[in-house]
Structure 1
Amino acid sequence: MTTLDESLVNFLKTHAPNNASAETLFPATTYTDAEKTEIGQWLTTSTHLASATEDAAKSADRLSSLNTHLSSRTTLLGAKPSVADIALYQKLAPVVSKWSAEERTGDQGYHHIVRHLDFVQNSPIFGLKLEDKVNVDLDNIIFKIKPIDAKAEKERKKKEKEAAAANASGATPTTLTENQVAGSKKGKAKAQDAVQAAGNAVASAVTGKAGSGPPEGAPTKKKEKKEKQPKPQKAAPVEKPLSPCLIDLRVGHILKATTHPNADSLFVSTIACGDPPGTDNTSEYEGQIVRTVCSGLNGLIPLEEMQNRKIVTVCNLKPVTMRGVKSCAMVLAASPRVAEGEDSHKGPVELINPPAESKAGDRVFFEGWEGEPEGVLNPKKKIWESIQPGFTTTDALQVGFDVEAVPQLSGEGSDKKTGVGMLKTAAGFCTVSTLKGAIVR
């Protein structure tokens, strides 16, 4: 299990029942090895959730993932309480106390985080000794989340069973559906005829005009069905304009790097990119959420320089399998520009250096091109291929984006855009060691 940070240790000493430690908080609860690993991951994640130095977009992404995780769970592990629940409470209570009603329970609010926090601060399971609790007004709910319709869910499962039984007996789902619909229509028609006949008989008896209506029990004409109007088509999602901000650039921390077992030119790196637990195409390594990344740097950069260092990663390219290893990000590096026809991979090559104070997962962006990145870049739209030619280095050894190198963005004539936007994090600028006027990819 991950070592507890000092602030959480002090919180437990002050507020845990009987001054219990992390090991004695829940003596009746046992954890599997997998659960212990998950607790460690959540303890790590909790330290980032309320960090003042954390990128705002990344914090919102983590909160959204946490809210989704808690939507079907009472505690982080599902039902079992753990020290990770208290760690989240300790970090988030000061944050949630400042949230507006919209942030708490609006249409896009963090309903489940608020519910979990209220559970931890009030439940005897945790028994926290708190003088100041977060005020949670159960009557002030702006947007009520619709509960699951138990009847509809039961009907859905019933149809699934009927379809499975039909397949087992040789009937296809299509014939089963047609037979069900035909039988249903016949039953409805008979019922409507009977009701209509009974209504006519009663009307004749009351008005004294027994012969004016159809004979008792006679079938009546069905009402003509109204033609179904075509459903309005959903509007296509608005496509974001081409911009460097569409590329998800983050600080990555290489925890280890090895040579690829099946390719002499490739390194395989294990990189922490600040992903929350459960993110697609990630795994866990030494208590951290990581991505596996293949890079063609073997022979260009010594393997020892790839160990335990900060770099800049591209995190929203579609994963590709390279000689049997799935690569889920890309490492940015600089190399000299070469004339057409020359070997563009001969080197030298230098990794991009983020500011020393930056942390894994920090957002990296070009000045003047701020915005939200795409979730995953669509390979068919060639966004990376269109933007990357503008990545360069300056005489001051800083990395930047030269808009003139991307015709789709620079324009023409009097409206032509010029200038280089520097690549930076909240902590400062990204640099290279020696390469000026280089291409970055």
Structure 2
Amino acid sequence: MATSLSISPSEPLLALLHRSFPSAFPPSTTNAETSEAPSTLTLPSNSVIQGSNTIISHLSPKIFPEVAYTDIENAEITQWLTLSARVVSPSEDANKVADLLKTLNAHLSSRTTLLGVKPSVADLALYSRIAPTVARWTPEQRTGKDGYHHIVRFIDFVQNAPLFGLKLTEAEKVAVDVDNVIFVPKAVDPKEEKDKRKKATAAADGEGKKVAEAGKGKKGKTKEGTSEAKEATKDAAASANPTGPKREKKEKAPKPPKAPAKEAALSPSLIDLRVGHILKAINHPNADSLYVSTIACGDPPGKDGTSEHEGQTVRTVCSGLNGLIPLSEMQNRKVVVVCNLKPVTMRGVKSSAMVLAASPRPVEGEADDGHKGPVELVTPPAEAKAGERVFFEGWKGEPEGQLNPKKKVWETLQPGFTTTEEREVGFDGAAVAAQLAGDREGSSAAAAP
């Protein structure tokens, strides 16, 4: 006997999954005639499984066949399936539902998915069950000071991310206005937290330090007396032997000045190019042409210019791509990032890196205006991980910690960045040499009488 499934009209979750992952369901899947009839999965052994949570747990390996879960993660999936059912249960107390939503929101504040980064059927169940509720929330409930910011972000992520592969029409999706953010929670800065802890420790040690200094004063007085006695003894010895030989002091040879640090040869390897993972991007609150992206670049926790977002060390990056690239294309994607430029504040937001994008070269005679478009983001290989180094073949060397703005390394090398006919990024050293030659000629002409 083949496996068969009957889906109850009262359980839209299974209907959504059947539409999105038809190959994960038995070929003989049917719809139950009445909503009162429960969903049932009949196995070849004639054993029957009822209830959407149990059924989708059974189908999970076919829905996400490439994802492996530990025993602990499987237990978490079961817990979240139960919680998502409780949130929408008519018999659940309203106060308990509010507590469950707060728990869920706090959990998602440091995670992309319920398990952290792995997709699971628990994410799909939670989305299907609470999306209608989120759709009815007011702007204050969504993004107010006490709103469920992280639940809204999660809903928008699940319904749009290819990671989950849900088959939804635009009309079925929850409308999320990324511009309508009433309250923006401050990201936790590891450096600030470290400084606070240092100050607290210093304040707690204040009294002990005073006691130590008092003892130090007494000890110093004793040393002073001892020193005076030694000097007196030395003077007496000198008087007793006035004709003793005197040692001549040798003049010390002056130390040779330190050789200046050898300046690194001009090369694109000086630029710290890395794979970055945009976790989210929003419109800049004070500039229509800018996006503000939260990007994981493989930095260690606590590094200057970084903060923490959803359990990852990230950089805040402003980019002038608003109006050139849709905001939807700036979400949850890999990009190439310049990571050793000096941080700059752009209209009130500190930017600690730069996203690379490409546009066609201007036709001869036209002004070089890269903001005319079209513009495309530079995309690394799909298997590349955030933080991996990006380099040009044939150009060896290590990137500098931070490029000196006065030396204009980036400005000098940037004209050499180009694309091939195969739409791959390359570096043209001749273009840089030509620009440098042109600059020298211009300087000579300007200096001529």
TM range (shorter): 0.3 to 0.5
Q: Flag the structure with more relative contact order, 1 or 2, with Cα contacts below 8 A and sequence separation at least 6.
A: 1
**Going by fraction, where is helix more abundant, 1 or 2?**
2
Larger Rg: 2
